[in-house]
Structure formats: C-alpha cells, structure tokens
Structure 1
Amino acid sequence: MARIAFILLTHKDPEGVIDHARRLTATGDYVTIHYDRRAAKADYLQIRAALQDNPGVAFANRRHKCGWGEWSLVAASLEALREAERRFPTATHFYLLSGDCMPIKSAEYTRQFLDAEECDYIEAVDFHEGNWIKTGLREERLIYRHWFNERTQHKAFYASLNLQKRLGLARPTPEGLQIMIGSQWWCLRRQTVEDVLALIDQRPELLRFFRTTWIPDETFFQTLVMHVVPKTQVRRHSPTFLMFTDYGMPVTFYNDHYDLLLRQNYLFARKISPEAAELRERLGMVWQARGMSFAVSNEGPRLHRFLTERGRVGRRFAPRFWETELAAQREHVIGLIVAKKWHVARRLTARIRALTAIPAVDYLFDEVDAHLPDLGGIASSVAKRDRHRRALVKLLFEEFETQQLVICVDSSALPLIADLAGGKPQTRILFIDGDFDDAYIRGHMKRIGVAGDETPDEVIRRLVPVVRDDLLHEVERLRDMNFPHFNVISPGAGIAMNAAAIARFLEVPDEIAHDLAATPQLFSD
C-alpha cells in the first residue's frame, strides 16, 4: 500500500504548518518541511519545537532564502527531498506541496488512487512546442544565464540579459536532454526520485545549467523525470488542483468552495486562503475520513471561468472577421442565422440547401462538420479556420460562385456579428428566438462544461437561473444593436409571420419561404 512522504515548502503561518504536518502524519504518512530562511527565526523554532517528537516529521538540513522564479525554490525542494528519501525508507511516493495546499480527497482514497497505477504524476510538455508559456520570456529562460530576480531586481535582470544578447553569449542545453515544462507540483514514485537524485550526482553540469535558468521550478524536475522514466509510466498532469485568473495569478479558495473542490479529479488543491479556517478544518477532516465516496465532475475551471466572465461586454482585442484587403464586395449578401439552439439553425440550413440554390453552411467557426465544400488545408480544423477567417469567407463566395451566402452564428458572438454588419457586403440577420426551459438550460450547462454528469443537482438548480439570465441578456444585447436588416422567427409567431421574415431574409418567393417556415419539427428540442 502506498505511503507518502510529503515535501512541504512553507514560509509563513507556523501554526498552520504545525497543524498541516500533524494532520498528514496522523494517517501514517510522512512530512519533510523546508521553512523559508527569509521567515522569522522564532517561527521556525516554534515549528521544530512543536513537531520534534513526531517520528513522521523531518526537516531539511539546510534552509534557503526562496524567491519566485529563482533556483532557490528548486534547491529547497531538493534539500527536503534528499532528507525525505533518507529518513523514510518505507515511503513509496513523494508529493510536493506548499503551505497553501490542502487535501481534497481522503488519505484512503489517495492511497487507492496511487496504488491503481504504477506511474508518476507530473505535468511535462515540450518547452519549445507545447505552448505552455503564454507571455514573457521563452527561449531566453534557458539559453542565457540569470543571476538576478526579475521582480525584485528588474533593471539588473534585463541589463544582464541584454548584455548577453549583444555579446552573443547564448549557451546550449545539456547534451541528451529534451527540456520540458509544467506545473511545480508533482507526485513521484520512490524509484523515480532515486533515479533523479542519482542523475544529478552523476552529471553535475545539470545543476550548473538549471541554477542559472529563469523559473527553473517549472523545468527542472519536469525535464529530469521525463529523462529517466519511460513515457508510458508518466501521467503528464499535476495531482494538485489549481487555477489561474486572467492576470496569471493563482485562484484562491474560500469557505464556500468546499463542495466544488471535492468534485475535482485531483488529490490536493492550492491555494487555500489562510483566512478560510472553516474550509481548512473541513478538508482536514476529509483527509482522515474512512469510507468516504467522491462524486467527481471536474467542472471547476470552466465553472470558474463562466462565473468570473459574467458581466463582461465584448472582447477586447478580438480579431476582426472582415478586413478590407480580403473583403467580399458590395454586391455580396451575407445572411447570418443567429441562434443559440444549434439544432434548430441546422434544420433550417438543411431545408435552405434542399429548397433553394442559396449556399448555406452551419457553424463553420464552431464545429468541424459544417457542410463546407473541399477548401483544402484552410478548412481542416476549426482552429485553422479561425486563424484565416477573412480568407475562408472570401473563398466560400468564390467556391460556390454565388453572390449570396448563409452562415450560422451563435448568439454570443456579438463582436463577430457587428463586424459583419459593418462591412461592405449587405448583411442580413435572421434571429431564431425561443424559450429556454430548465431541461435545455441543464443540457446547455453540460455542453459548455459548467456542469458535469456528477455535479450535484443542488448546484445545477442554483446555476439554472444564472445561466438563463445570461442567455436572455445575449438576446437583449443583440436586439439593442439595431441592425437595419434584422428579422426574427419564433415558435410562437406562426408559420405566416415566420415565412414573411424568411422571405425578407433570403429574398425568395413566398411559396418557398412558407415551405421553409413549415419545416417539420423546426423548433423542437
């Protein structure tokens, strides 16, 4: 059975550290503590005095002054890891935690989880091709030497970097290593830890290299683990649940996040607010619970993103759909079928293709199968279509040899709709209105990832009115844009009124418009 040696990196809250260590060792596991040397000495002595008689607790032999982005974080982890590997010979796994981490599963569940597969858990993607780094320095992190902290020694950091660039002092990466990058928080098997420690003892140049890279806690263990362990034995994701805000800062969890955290498919979570005493107490009880089951829905990141984005209007810096140099001409007509219920819009475009000569495609920027002709590589994926949106629409007009084109658009894509309506071609809109009952809202929540199959019904019930209000708000914003060629069809309007709206939208004879409006089960969910 798995026994875990936790590597605990801390720098504050000595009482919390003491409680954390006692809680983790109470279930038969181990803890090795590295307490930042920048912290008050009295706090460190308090921790040692409180835990000195606990046989499951050890302390790093050397304490480092740790700084964000510096080698000191890796040095602290290595110091504690070596001591844990030496002091606790029966530990099967080594799990890196911070003082802000708390368990979101029981020790019983965690052991069963680790026993289920013979593997390591560490996020590790290719440094150069993985697109893990979103902003800031990329290759410069590795090929230049960094002796200063970018946050606390900003001028010296960039002066050193720019001088190395001017002098051509770029360096190669260590021979035979593919540099990987990922989250700092991992859980490794004993054999993996022994192999990593042996590797750095055998190759001291590895420490020399990573000691002067920038943010090495995201690359050091990630690279070396993938060097010594077969890929089939690595699950490339962290076992610790964490999310980031739009500003790149970790999301902090509070007392009301308890149910959300337990539903995530992770073992621990960071970061828990120091003020969330109730949450810490409840999660501590979870760790020591026996026979506790967990309904995993894993909707946390999308639910957080949905709730934090509510109230935002528009998309700043969104790429334009239509640009002058690749634009359709004034004689072109673009018909936009705007609908939240995609299945209704698809039924209508299918009938338009069957009853008219007007080319009609479905949600070509949202789904792969959108009834497109063969356009070659530009249409091979949704992502590629989005990158070449201007060229794609122009190609559609040319491929269909038409002056009129119908496209389906989700009602949330207001900036896209506004761009089209403001371009040279005449743009007509057919908005498909309808009711959003609870069954539809629940299905919609699952489709967008706000809820999952295991999300408690109480959570879904509370979210239903929130999501419905957002959908209705989309409709109001669309109507408030006052487009000149704006038509509406709805299930309550009747075939005659819907036919008149379709006739204006497509400029087709009344008979064809009537047949389109009378499409069987057009509005059915």
Structure 2
Amino acid sequence: MARIAFILLCHKNPEGIVQQARQLSAVGDFVSIHLDARAPRQAYLQVRAEVADNPNVTFARRRVRCGWGEWSLVQATILAVEAAVEAFPRATHFYMVSGDCMAIKSAAYAHRFLDERDVDYIESFDFFESDWIKTGIKEERLIYRHIFNERTQKKVFYWMLDAQRRLGLRRRIPADLQVMIGSQWWCLRRRTVEAVLAFARARPDVVRFFRTSWIPDETYFQTLVRHLVPEQEIISRTLTFLMFSDYGMPVTFYNDQYDLLLSQDALFARKISPDAQDLRKRLGDLYASDRQDFVVSGEGRRLFQFLTGRGRIGRRFAPRFWETETSLGRDKELLIVACKKWHVAKRLLGSIKHHTNIPAIDYLFNEADTWLPDLGGIQSTLEKRTRHRRALIRMLFEYFESDRLIICLDTASIDLMHDFYSDRSTTRLLEISCTFDDGYLIGHAKRVGLAGADASPEAIERLLPTIRHDVVYESERIRDSNFAHYNRISDRQGPDDNTGPIGRFLSVSGEVARDIAETPHLFVD
C-alpha cells in the first residue's frame, strides 16, 4: 500500500505547521519539514520541540532563506526530499505541499488512488511550445542569468536583464534537456525522486544552469522528471486543487467552502486561510478518517469564474466585434426572441412558424446542435458563428430569400443584442419573462456546469440565490438598454395581455397574434 512522505515547505505560523504535521502523520504517513530561514529561530525550535516525539516527522538538515522565484525554493525542496528519503525508507511517494495546503480526501482514498496507477503526477509542458506562461518574460527566464530578485530588487533585476541583452550574453540550454514547465505541487514515486537526486549529483552543470534561471521551481523537477521517466509513466497534472484570480493571485478558501473542496478532482487544496480554523479542523479530521464515498463533480473553477464575474458590465476577455463594418442590409429586419427558458422560446417559435411565413432559427449562438443550413463552414461551430455573427445572419437572409428573420438568444447574450442593434438594419426584440422555481434553477446550474451532477444539497442551496439574482440581473440589463422596438410577454399574464406585444413584434394582425399568444402549454416546463 502507498505510504506518502509529504515535503512540507513553510514560511510562518508554527502552530499551523505543528497541526498540519500531526494531521498528515496520524495515519502512518510521513512529513519532512523545511521552515524558511527567514522565520525566527524560536519558531523553528518551537516546531521541533512539539513534534519531537513523532517518529514520522523529520526536518531538512539545514534551513535556507527562501525568496519567490529564486533557486532557494528548489534548494529547500531538495533538502527536505533528501531528509525524507533517508529517514523514511518505507515511503513510496513524495508529495509537495506548503503550509497553506490541506487534504480534501481521506488518507485511505489517497492511498488507494496512488496504488491504482504506477505513475508520477507532475505538470510537465514544453517550456517554449506551450502557453503555460501567461504574462511576463518567457525565454528570458532561461537564456539569461538571474541573480537578483524581480520582486524585491526590481530595478537591478531588469537592469541586469537589459545589460545581458545589449551585450549578447545569451547562454545555451543543456543540449540533452527538453526544458519543461508546470506547477510545483507534484507527487512523485520513490524511484523517481531517487533518480532525480542521483542525476543532480552526476550533472552539476544542469544544477548550475537552473540555479541562475528565473522561477526554477516551475522548471527544475518538471524537466528532470521528463528526462528520466518514460512518458507513459507521467500524468501531466497536479493532484493539488488551486485557482488563480484574474490578477494572478491564488484564491484562498474559507470555512464555508468545505463541500466545494471535497467535490474537486484532487487530493489536496491550496490555499486554505490560516483564519479558517473550522475548515482546517474538518479537513484534518477528514484525512484521518476511512471515508471513501467522495462524489467528484469538479465544478470549482467554473463556479469561481461565474461568481466573480457577476456585476461586471465590461468583462475581461469578452468577445470582440470583428465585423462592425459589415451591415446586414438597410432593408433587412432581424427579430430577436430573448428568453432564459429555451424550451419556451422554441415553443413560441414553432407557433410563429405555423401561423406566419417568417423564417426562424432558434438558439444558433447558444446551442451547438441548432439546425442550420450548410453555409460553407461558417455555421460549423459556436465560436465561428459568434465571431462572424453578421456574416452568418446575412447569409441566412440570403438562404431563406427573405427580408425578415427570427432568431432566439439567451438573455445573457446582451453583447450580441447590442451588436445587432448597432447595425443599419431594423432590429426588434421580444423578451419572454418567465418564473423560475428552485427545480429549474438547479437544472440550469447543472446544465451549464456551475454545479456537478452530484453536487451536495448544501452547495446547491448556497448557490441558488446567486443564480436567481443573475437571471433577474440579465433581464434588468435588457430593459435598461432601452432598445428600440422592445416588447415583452410574461407567463404571469394571460393571452389578452400578451397579444399586443406579439403583434407589435411580428407586425401581424391582432387575430394572428392572439392565436400565437394562445399556444397550448406555451410556458409549461
């Protein structure tokens, strides 16, 4: 059975370190601690004293002062790994964690998970070909030497970088290595760790190279493992669940996110707030339990993006209007049915097509499998349809040989509504206002990935108010936009009240509008 030696890198909070070491070692696993030399010596002595009677805890033979982005982080990791290899001969796996990490599965689950596949878990992507690095310098991390810290010595860091550029002091990457990059939170088998340590002793040139590279904790182990281990024995992922904000800062978890963390496809999570004492205790007790009945839904990242995006009128990375110069045609009339309940809008569209000769297409910008004629490939994907939205609509006008066309949009697609309204053509909008019970909102959350199929009732209950507010907010944005030719029908009104808006929207007689308003079961879920 798997036995894990946790490589615990920590910088502060001696009480938390002691608690974490006790929790991780309580079921027979091991812990090797490196406490940053920047921390007070008294804190280090306190940790050592409080775990002195625990044979499953050891310490790196010496402490180094750690700086973000520096070789010192790799050096501290190596020291802790060496101590663990020597002290714990029964350890089968070595798992990197920090003082902010905590288990989100039981030890029994983690051991079984690691036993199922004889592989290493480490993110390992090609440094130059992948887009793992989103911002900042890229190849400069490797081809120039870095002896200053960009965060604490910014001016001299960039002065030295610029000087090397101007003097042509590029250096060569070791010829036999393909440099890889990925998260520093890995889980490696014992033989892999021993091979990495042996390689470092045999190749001081490689160690010298990484010692003066920038942020080597994202490249050193990732490169060496890929160099030493067959590809089929590497799973390029981290077993630690972590998220980053739009600003590149790690997301912190608190007491009310226990259920969310347990449902993620990971063994650990980073980073847990030091103030979340209840969460820390519950997760510590969880690791010591025999629990195996974890339901993994994995909606965490998408849920975070949804919740943090609420309230933003202009969102980062929003779709750009590539075709603002292209007109649908001054003589064309585009009729938009906006509704959050897609089945209601489709039912209305079916009735409109039965009572009129206006061509209609339902959610072509929201639903991938919406029927569309062959238009030369522009209709093949949602991404293509949205990017070339005006060209697509113009081609549909031509295909149907009509000056009028009805389409359906989700109420969230207000950017598309604004774009079509900015065209020289005439645009009319009919919003269908619906009542949303909890059952529908839960189904909606699961359909769009905000909640997993097996999400707990507690998690759903906390999410519901936000989803309900979001639906209302979308409708308010439409009404606040003051679109011309705007009409609205509602499931809280009878056919008498809905006939007028339908007639004005379609420019049809009152009799036809009345027949459409009386569509059987129009608003039934």
Report the 3-state secondary structure (helix = DSSP H, G, I; strand = E; otherwise coil) of the residue aligned with 2:9. Answer: strand
1:79 equivalent in structure 2: 79
- C-alpha distance after superposition, 1:463-495 (max 9, x if no partner): 333322321222122122221211223345455
- C-alpha distance after superposition, 1:415-438 (max 9, x if no partner): 332232233222211212211112
The one-letter amino acid paired with 2:448 is I
For structure 2, the residue ranges without an aligned partner over 5 or more in a row are: none
* C-alpha distance in structure 2 between counterparts of 1:331 and 1:97, whole Å: 64
- C-alpha distance after superposition, 1:78-132 (max 9, x if no partner): 2211222232221110000001111222222211221122222223334344433
Q: Displacement, 1:332?
A: 2.9
How is 1:313-328 mapped onto 2 (pairs within 5 angstroms)?
Answer: 313-315=313-315, 318-321=318-321, 323-328=323-328
- C-alpha distance after superposition, 1:218-274 (max 9, x if no partner): 222223323333343333321112222222211112222223322323211111112
1:483 equivalent in structure 2: 483
1:250 equivalent in structure 2: 250
* C-alpha distance in structure 2 between counterparts of 1:183 and 1:13, whole Å: 24
Q: 1:524 to 1:206 in 2, by over 3 A?
A: farther
* C-alpha distance in structure 2 between counterparts of 1:222 and 1:342, whole Å: 46
Q: 1:64 to 1:122 in 2, by over 3 A?
A: same
Q: Which moved more, 1:193-202 or 1:112-121?
A: 193-202
Q: Displacement, 1:518?
A: 5.6
The one-letter amino acid paired with 2:279 is L
How is 1:222-237 mapped onto 2 (pairs within 5 angstroms)?
Answer: 222-237=222-237
The one-letter amino acid paired with 1:198 is A
TM-score for the superposition, normalised by structure 1: 0.89
Report the 3-state secondary structure (helix = DSSP H, G, I; strand = E; otherwise coil) of the residue aligned with 2:325. Answer: helix
Q: 1:496 to 1:278 in 2, by over 3 A?
A: closer
- C-alpha distance after superposition, 1:398-427 (max 9, x if no partner): 565554343322111223322322332222
Report the 3-state secondary structure (helix = DSSP H, G, I; strand = E; otherwise coil) of the residue aligned with 2:329. Answer: coil
Report the 3-state secondary structure (helix = DSSP H, G, I; strand = E; otherwise coil) of the residue aligned with 2:451. Answer: coil
2:217 equivalent in structure 1: 217
Are the equivalent residues in 2 in contact too, given 1:18–1:51 (CA < 8 A)? yes
The one-letter amino acid paired with 1:89 is P
The answer as to 2:124 corresponding to 1:121 is no
1:434 equivalent in structure 2: 434
Report the 3-state secondary structure (helix = DSSP H, G, I; strand = E; otherwise coil) of the residue aligned with 2:337. Answer: strand
Are the equivalent residues in 1 in contact too, given 2:260–2:459 (CA < 8 A)? no
Q: Which moved more, 1:317-326 or 1:48-57?
A: 317-326
Q: 1:149 to 1:329 in 2, by over 3 A?
A: farther
* C-alpha distance in structure 2 between counterparts of 1:344 and 1:10, whole Å: 55
Q: 1:444 to 1:141 in 2, by over 3 A?
A: same
Are the equivalent residues in 2 in contact too, given 1:333–1:405 (CA < 8 A)? yes
Q: Displacement, 1:11?
A: 1.0
The one-letter amino acid paired with 2:430 is L
1:468 equivalent in structure 2: 468
2:147 equivalent in structure 1: 147
* C-alpha distance in structure 2 between counterparts of 1:405 and 1:457, whole Å: 43
Are the equivalent residues in 2 in contact too, given 1:107–1:288 (CA < 8 A)? yes
Report the 3-state secondary structure (helix = DSSP H, G, I; strand = E; otherwise coil) of the residue aligned with 2:95. Answer: strand
**Identical residues among aligned pairs (%):** 58
The one-letter amino acid paired with 2:63 is R
How is 1:157-236 mapped onto 2 (pairs within 5 angstroms)?
Answer: 157-236=157-236
How is 1:219-298 mapped onto 2 (pairs within 5 angstroms)?
Answer: 219-291=219-291, 293-298=293-298
* C-alpha distance in structure 1 between counterparts of 2:229 and 2:311, whole Å: 46
* C-alpha distance in structure 2 between counterparts of 1:309 and 1:144, whole Å: 38
The answer as to 2:123 corresponding to 1:106 is no
Are the equivalent residues in 1 in contact too, given 2:321–2:387 (CA < 8 A)? no
Q: Displacement, 1:445?
A: 1.4
Are the equivalent residues in 2 in contact too, given 1:11–1:99 (CA < 8 A)? yes
Q: Displacement, 1:509?
A: 6.3
Q: Displacement, 1:303?
A: 3.0
Q: Displacement, 1:185?
A: 0.7
- C-alpha distance after superposition, 1:22-60 (max 9, x if no partner): 222221111111111222222223323333443222222
Q: Displacement, 1:443?
A: 0.2
1:411 equivalent in structure 2: 411
Q: Displacement, 1:307?
A: 3.1
- C-alpha distance after superposition, 1:190-235 (max 9, x if no partner): 1222233333344444323333332222222223323333343333
2:451 equivalent in structure 1: 451
Are the equivalent residues in 1 in contact too, given 2:259–2:459 (CA < 8 A)? no
* C-alpha distance in structure 1 between counterparts of 2:376 and 2:137, whole Å: 35
Q: 1:483 to 1:176 in 2, by over 3 A?
A: same
Q: Which moved more, 1:406-415 or 1:168-177?
A: 168-177
Are the equivalent residues in 2 in contact too, given 1:122–1:236 (CA < 8 A)? yes
* C-alpha distance in structure 1 between counterparts of 2:413 and 2:27, whole Å: 51
* C-alpha distance in structure 2 between counterparts of 1:382 and 1:464, whole Å: 28
Are the equivalent residues in 2 in contact too, given 1:322–1:419 (CA < 8 A)? no
Are the equivalent residues in 1 in contact too, given 2:196–2:228 (CA < 8 A)? yes
1:46 equivalent in structure 2: 46
2:299 equivalent in structure 1: 299
1:338 equivalent in structure 2: 338
Report the 3-state secondary structure (helix = DSSP H, G, I; strand = E; otherwise coil) of the residue aligned with 1:96. Answer: strand
The one-letter amino acid paired with 1:487 is N
* C-alpha distance in structure 1 between counterparts of 2:359 and 2:72, whole Å: 62
Are the equivalent residues in 2 in contact too, given 1:321–1:420 (CA < 8 A)? no
Q: Which moved more, 1:50-59 or 1:429-438?
A: 50-59
* C-alpha distance in structure 2 between counterparts of 1:297 and 1:506, whole Å: 44
The answer as to 2:25 corresponding to 1:15 is no
* C-alpha distance in structure 1 between counterparts of 2:369 and 2:403, whole Å: 23
Q: Displacement, 1:3?
A: 0.4
Are the equivalent residues in 1 in contact too, given 2:143–2:171 (CA < 8 A)? yes
For structure 1, the residue ranges without an aligned partner over 5 or more in a row are: none
* C-alpha distance in structure 1 between counterparts of 2:516 and 2:485, whole Å: 19
Q: Which moved more, 1:203-212 or 1:18-27?
A: 203-212
Q: 1:207 to 1:458 in 2, by over 3 A?
A: same
2:97 equivalent in structure 1: 97
* C-alpha distance in structure 2 between counterparts of 1:142 and 1:356, whole Å: 67
Report the 3-state secondary structure (helix = DSSP H, G, I; strand = E; otherwise coil) of the residue aligned with 2:194. Answer: helix
* C-alpha distance in structure 2 between counterparts of 1:502 and 1:97, whole Å: 61
* C-alpha distance in structure 1 between counterparts of 2:164 and 2:396, whole Å: 50
* C-alpha distance in structure 1 between counterparts of 2:167 and 2:519, whole Å: 72
* C-alpha distance in structure 2 between counterparts of 1:392 and 1:502, whole Å: 26
Q: Displacement, 1:378?
A: 4.4
Report the 3-state secondary structure (helix = DSSP H, G, I; strand = E; otherwise coil) of the residue aligned with 1:326. Answer: coil
Q: Displacement, 1:515?
A: 6.2
Q: 1:483 to 1:193 in 2, by over 3 A?
A: same
Q: 1:179 to 1:483 in 2, by over 3 A?
A: same
Q: 1:280 to 1:335 in 2, by over 3 A?
A: same
1:26 equivalent in structure 2: 26
* C-alpha distance in structure 1 between counterparts of 2:379 and 2:130, whole Å: 23
* C-alpha distance in structure 1 between counterparts of 2:366 and 2:203, whole Å: 49
Q: 1:262 to 1:455 in 2, by over 3 A?
A: same
Are the equivalent residues in 2 in contact too, given 1:122–1:182 (CA < 8 A)? yes
The answer as to 2:383 corresponding to 1:383 is yes
- C-alpha distance after superposition, 1:339-367 (max 9, x if no partner): 11123334444566677664533333333
Report the 3-state secondary structure (helix = DSSP H, G, I; strand = E; otherwise coil) of the residue aligned with 2:165. Answer: helix
2:329 equivalent in structure 1: 329
Q: Which moved more, 1:387-396 or 1:467-476?
A: 387-396
* C-alpha distance in structure 2 between counterparts of 1:91 and 1:85, whole Å: 8
TM-score for the superposition, normalised by structure 2: 0.89
* C-alpha distance in structure 2 between counterparts of 1:332 and 1:165, whole Å: 58
* C-alpha distance in structure 2 between counterparts of 1:77 and 1:179, whole Å: 19
